Structure 1
């Protein structure tokens, strides 16, 4: 009865040559082989409380990797080994390389990441754009009303109305807009590689005073 749609995982390089796995998907033998061929997995990140289904599998497969989770994730994965929860301070190894901000809603809290050297901003669910026709019937109607499908990636309405603190969200978005963004990668939607700063300004125009 729910919604099923494709999702994207990303792998970032860290300053020490290791890898950060962001929003992990199902860990198949082929995917593990591909990731291992790039480098050692140092960190595994669950960026919000909706993207955690495969977190435990990755944590078990890479016991030496640090696990970093958004607020609300640990209670949903009771067997998860020790994990660091996102806060205001940068996780270990991120200083000067990866920035993050937290945007809190009543549905979930999302950590938006920015990798400085590539100029890449990572959104999990706060920005989405699903392919036309992916949702059918009543799901298609709900997706259109929610802003999950459209001419450009957008913040779904369910998250807009669920913001806990609009002033704090504005401050977080202000930081995002100050990043030197070259591309935007989303878990649900094609990456934005042209005029990324202007795209972000348009996507969050509704939040500005």
Structure 2
């Protein structure tokens, strides 16, 4: 499920993911614009119990979803509590899994970036790692004019999804980032889902090593 959002004059196609736990509860990752047809499609899958803003940038529509599902628990990534005083947060993400998701969804916080701190998730049953902004790939021709030039220089339209240059430069502690990456690479990854780009459906481990070769070496 995707929509288009804007930041600094750039328009981004953005994906939302719905994870159904074994008990039927739904985890909504990076909620997009709430519309009647989307709400109906989500409710057909199960009960919305958790709302997940995965970093301090992906929160635009969070308030709408919380008003629609006031009983859903909302967990805050680093930096978001300060930005969204209007949101009721029920807890904060840490490097420990959420108790209700134990054995189904693991998480690692990618520490040390000045732009935002991504919480990276791993869904065990599907073998899927879920990234927000640290890995991106926009369609060729998506950006126009000077924005197209910036996107190319930033690796946002590279031949394969990768970490944009601005995020690479923004890591203030590569040591902390490498420690997080080691935990991510330890997952038995088969697929990779990203907010801005098409999913990686095969050999996710090898893909992640390519995407982060600049950090791992």
* TM-score bracket for the superposition, by shorter chain length: over 0.9
Q: Find the counterpart in structure 2 of residue 181 from structure 1.
A: 189
Q: How much has 1:58 moved relative to structure 2?
A: 0.7
Q: After the TM superposition, which parts of structure 1 deviate over 3 Å for at least 4 consecutive aligned residues?
A: none
The answer to whether the 8 Å contact 1:18/1:39 transfers is yes
- C-alpha distance in structure 2 between counterparts of 1:22 and 1:208, whole Å: 27
Q: 2:61 aligns with which of 44, 51, 54?
A: 54
Root-mean-square deviation over aligned CA pairs: 1.1
Segment of structure 1 superposing worse, 168-177 or 107-116: 168-177
1:160 aligns with 2:168: yes
Hey, which of these two has a bigger chunk of strand by percent? Answer: 2
Q: Find the counterpart in structure 2 of residue 142 from structure 1.
A: 150
Q: How does 1:1-209 map to 2 (within 5 A)?
A: 2-104=9-111, 105-209=113-217
- C-alpha distance in structure 1 between counterparts of 2:40 and 2:83, whole Å: 28
| Runs of 5+ unmatched residues, structure 2 | 1-7
* TM-score (structure 1 length as normaliser): 0.97
Count matched residues: 209
- C-alpha distance in structure 1 between counterparts of 2:211 and 2:125, whole Å: 23
C-alpha distance after superposition, 1:51-110 (max 9, x if no partner): 000011111111111101211112222211133111122123121111111113111111
The answer to whether the 8 Å contact 2:20/2:45 transfers is no
Segment of structure 1 superposing worse, 138-147 or 80-89: 80-89
The answer to whether the 8 Å contact 1:102/1:109 transfers is yes
C-alpha distance after superposition, 1:22-78 (max 9, x if no partner): 000001011000000000011000000110000111111111111012111122222
Q: Find the counterpart in structure 1 of residue 3 from structure 2.
A: none
* TM-score (structure 2 length as normaliser): 0.93
